Structure formats: C-alpha cells, structure tokens
C-alpha cells in the first residue's frame, strides 16, 4: 500500500472492513438494479441494508416475497437469512460503511433529464453522513452529475461539515464519492451478474480504490477510470451505441418493407461475417431504463457546450417514431380486411419492453395501446408477466390481462413483445389477422400474417 493510501486511518479501516466482509453495505433503491445488487453482496456474506421509499416493496421482502419475476422467494429468503434488511428508515444510513444509490433517472415530458430521484435521495442521505463512508452513484445520468449535483448536496446537507475527499488522502472530516454505472440486462441468462465488468470512477484515487475493493468482492473484474464523468460517459456510450444501431436497422426495415425484402433474412446473412458486423434487430420501438433515455441525457448536456448531437438525436427520432409506424401498419392491415381501425377489436400481445421479463419501463407497447385507443380501437392485451397494467409515470391504462382462449373475437392480434411462452402457430391458426412487429411468426406460412 502506498504512502498516500496510508495517510488516512479512515481509509485503511474501511478497506480492511471491505476485504474482511465486515463492511455494512446500504443499497438505496430496491428495483431492477438495486435488489439484484443487494443479493450479490448478501451472497458474499456482507451485512446489507436495502433502503426504499416504497413501503410496499419493503414489506414484500420482509414477508419473504418478491416483486421481480426473475428473483425468486428462495433467493430473498437466503438473503434475509444472511442478514439482508430492507427498510424505509433513512436514519440508518449513518450505520452504513458504503452507500450505493440505484434510483431511476427518467426523462420529463419535455425529454429533459429528471434529476428529482437523485436530488431527493442525496437530500435524504446527507443529514446522516459520517466521516469515512463512501457514497457511490449507479444511476445512469449525464457526465458531471456526480460532481455537479450529488457532491454539493451531500456537502451542504450534512450536519457535521463533512467534505468529499478530492485529493487522494482523506482527512478525518471527509467521505468518499464515486460513480459506477449499473450494467443490468434483464432477461439475460447467458451472462452471470458477477461476470459483468464494473466500471468505476472515483472523485479521487482513494475513492476509486475503495469502490474497486467493494465491487471487486462481488464482480470478477473491475475497470477503474480517471473520474466520475468518464464513468458516466462510458455508460452513455454503451447505450447510445445500441440506440444508433437499432435506429439504423429500424430505418432499413421500413425501406425493406417498401422494397419487398425481408430485413430479418438480410441481418441473418450479414451476421455470418466473422468481423466488422454486430447484429442488431428492429422492433416496435425502444424500451427499458436506459436505451430510450440516454441519448436525450447527452443531447441535453451537450447544449451546455454549444454542441449539437445531430447524429444521436436523429437516431432517437427514428426509434421514437416506431410505435407510429406499427399503428400505420396495423391500420393498413385492417383496411385490407375491409375494417376501419375505429371500432376494431385489437389484442396487443406482450406489453413488457422485451421478451421474457416483467419490466414495463418505457415499453413501446404502452404507447401503442394509447395510440390504438386514440384511433378508436377497442384494445385488450395479454402478457403472462402482467395480470394488470395500472398507472405509471406516463400512462394510465387500468387494464386486466385478457385470456388467449378466444382469439377469433379480435379483428387483429398485434405482436409487440415476443415472449417465448406464446404458441405462435396456435395464435396464427386461431386469429383472423396477425400483425407481427417482432418477426415472432418466422417460419409460419399464412396469409393472415402481416409483418411490420
């Protein structure tokens, strides 16, 4: 250990507590990112406390239940047996050695960053801070958030006059701050969570070293970078890369439809190239907590530097337009069956933002349902992961999942999410008309199917 890192007894003490699994870890936000992270630390015998303002989530875990499909009650029970304690009492923050913030960072109605979750969390944490703690932000956000938003609130709001360490040798009245972007991929069963490398950018060298030790205890590899802003931009690059390439294939899909070419066959042929090509697939629009949001975060921040991210914004526009393309295709398909969309009964198949997960965040299905309703259609939905869809930040549907026992009653079955549970041959056989936005019916020959 270098002279610089031994300058602070607080540093040595915290690092030792992490390495010996005696560090107390607090996870703020027990959603799709925070809860899996809490379970990973619990598996490694850390004392984990989960914080959430949603008392229903806290009560569910304390009662041995789960609210995320891929996390089983058995996993919850094992974590609780290892000492995992969920709570809504933020005063317990003072008892933690490490505090990891995993709260949402959505867009507002003007497609600008909604920082309220980070701000409110920081304000709730600040009064309970003590020297020698590390605070790590995982929420996807624009470069500069950690230093420009999080740190000032933590410094101003704490009762002890504490400061964030920025010189690599924290004093007795300082705490550490870092940013480490979450890299969750809901539904991915091929890559274990602990095999996903963890990018870490500390406010100073000590913060990076402590955060690397903390994450290194549950992830096989850590990737230290020079600053929180670099780590923040790394996350945006990863997701904007996907956003741009998905926009490209979405645009090519619409061209191929006019040219009577099968974009899916074309992608399958292109991906046989062993270099220089990575397959991305078109769909009815983007969903999830990152890819539909991140480009707008960076475009917003870029304006501060008098820079226009034209390429990124164009990709966002293409993807945002995809639900409208699906509606137009559905209207055209119904028209060929001598049906107007106004008054037609439409069943939307799948509302999760991607297959085999129970996640509605930014799902294009929600937009598609609302657009269908605006056109006068009578809309139902089926999704094995959602018995009911109520109200969210941008929707208020109040709909129950419809059974699949009488598909002939619908004028159109619209496939929006291609869950593997569905028997697509049976669906095509029983339905009057199937509009497929996911190529879920590939290999099924029927004049009932319209691809869009």
Architecture per CATH, 240-320: Orthogonal Bundle (1.10)
More confident residue, 3 or 238: 238
Q: What percent of the chain has pLDDT over 70?
A: 98
Q: How far is CA 142 from the centre of its chain?
A: 15
Question: What is the distance in angstroms between the CA of the first residue and the CA of the last residue of the chain?
Answer: 60
Q: How far is CA 235 from the centre of its chain?
A: 12
User: pLDDT, tens digit, for every residue of 86-141?
Assistant: 999 999 999 999 999 999 998 887 778 899 999 999 999 999 999 999 999 999 99
The one catalytic residue in 102, 243, 256, 290 is 290
Task: For domain 3-226, give the CATH number.
Answer: 3.40.50.720
Find the range with the poorest average confidence among 216-225, 248-257, 386-395: 386-395
Please state the φ and ψ torsions of residue 337, each to the nearest 5 degrees: -95, 15
Locus of tokens 């420009």:
148
Q: For the chain, what is the mean pLDDT? A: 93
Task: For domain 322-452, give the CATH number.
Answer: 3.40.50.720
Q: How much is the pLDDT for 8?
A: 65
pLDDT mean over 35-57: 96
Locus of tokens 């959430």:
52
The domains of the chain are located at: 3-226, 240-320, 322-452
Record the pTM.
0.91
pLDDT mean over 151-167: 94
Token pair recorded at residue 405: 């026992």
Contact call for residues 355 and 419 (beta carbons, < 8 A):
yes
Cross-strand bridge partners of residue 24: 47
Evaluate whether 3-226 and 322-452 have a shared fold.
yes
Q: How much is the pLDDT for 1?
A: 39
290 is catalytic: yes
What's the farthest any 2 CA atoms get from each other in the chain? 80
Strands 134-137 and 174-179: parallel
């Amino acid at each position: 250990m270098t002279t610089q890192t031994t300058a602070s007894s607080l540093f040595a003490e915290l690092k030792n507590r992490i390495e010996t699994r005696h560090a107390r870890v607090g996870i703020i936000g027990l959603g799709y990112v925070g809860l899996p992270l809490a379970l990973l630390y619990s598996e490694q015998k850390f004392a984990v406390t989960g914080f959430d303002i949603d008392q229903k989530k806290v009560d569910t875990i304390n009662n041995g239940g789960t609210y995320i499909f891929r996390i089983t009650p058995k996993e919850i029970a094992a974590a609780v047996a290892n000492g995992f304690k969920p709570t809504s009492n933020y005063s317990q923050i003072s008892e933690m050695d490490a505090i990891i913030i995993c709260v949402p960072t959505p867009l507002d109605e003007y497609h600008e960053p909604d920082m309220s979750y980070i701000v409110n969390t920081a304000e709730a944490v600040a009064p309970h801070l003590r020297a020698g703690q590390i605070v790590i932000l995982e929420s996807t956000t624009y470069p500069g958030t950690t230093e420009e938003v999080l740190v000032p609130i933590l410094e101003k709001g704490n009762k002890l006059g504490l400061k964030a360490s920025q010189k690599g040798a924290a004093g007795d009245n300082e705490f550490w701050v870092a940013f480490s972007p979450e890299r969750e991929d809901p539904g991915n069963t091929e890559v274990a969570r602990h095999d996903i490398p963890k990018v870490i950018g500390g406010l100073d060298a000590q913060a990076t070293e402590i955060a690397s030790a903390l994450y290194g205890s549950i992830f096989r590899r850590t990737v230290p970078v020079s600053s929180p802003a670099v780590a923040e931009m790394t996350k945006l690059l990863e997701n904007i890369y996907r956003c741009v390439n998905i926009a490209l294939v979405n645009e090519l899909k619409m061209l191929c439809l006019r040219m009577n070419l099968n974009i899916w066959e074309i992608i399958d042929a292109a991906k046989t190239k062993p270099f220089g090509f990575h397959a991305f697939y078109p769909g009815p629009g983007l969903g999830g907590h990152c890819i539909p949001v991140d480009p707008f975060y960076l475009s917003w921040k870029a304006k501060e530097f008098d820079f226009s991210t034209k390429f990124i914004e164009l990709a966002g526009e293409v993807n945002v337009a995809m639900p409208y393309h699906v509606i137009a295709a559905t209207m055209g398909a119904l028209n060929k069956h001598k049906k107007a969309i106004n008054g037609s009964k439409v069943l939307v198949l799948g509302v999760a933002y991607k297959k085999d997960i129970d996640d509605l965040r930014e799902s294009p299905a929600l937009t598609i349902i609302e657009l269908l309703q605006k056109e006068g259609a009578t809309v139902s939905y089926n999704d094995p992961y959602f018995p009911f869809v109520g109200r969210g930040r941008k929707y208020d549907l109040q709909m129950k999942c419809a059974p699949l026992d009488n598909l002939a009653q619908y004028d159109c079955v619209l496939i929006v999410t291609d869950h593997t549970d569905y028997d697509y041959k049976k669906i095509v056989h029983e339905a009057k008309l199937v509009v497929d936005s996911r190529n879920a019916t590939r290999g099924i020959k029927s004049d009932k199917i319209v691809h869009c």
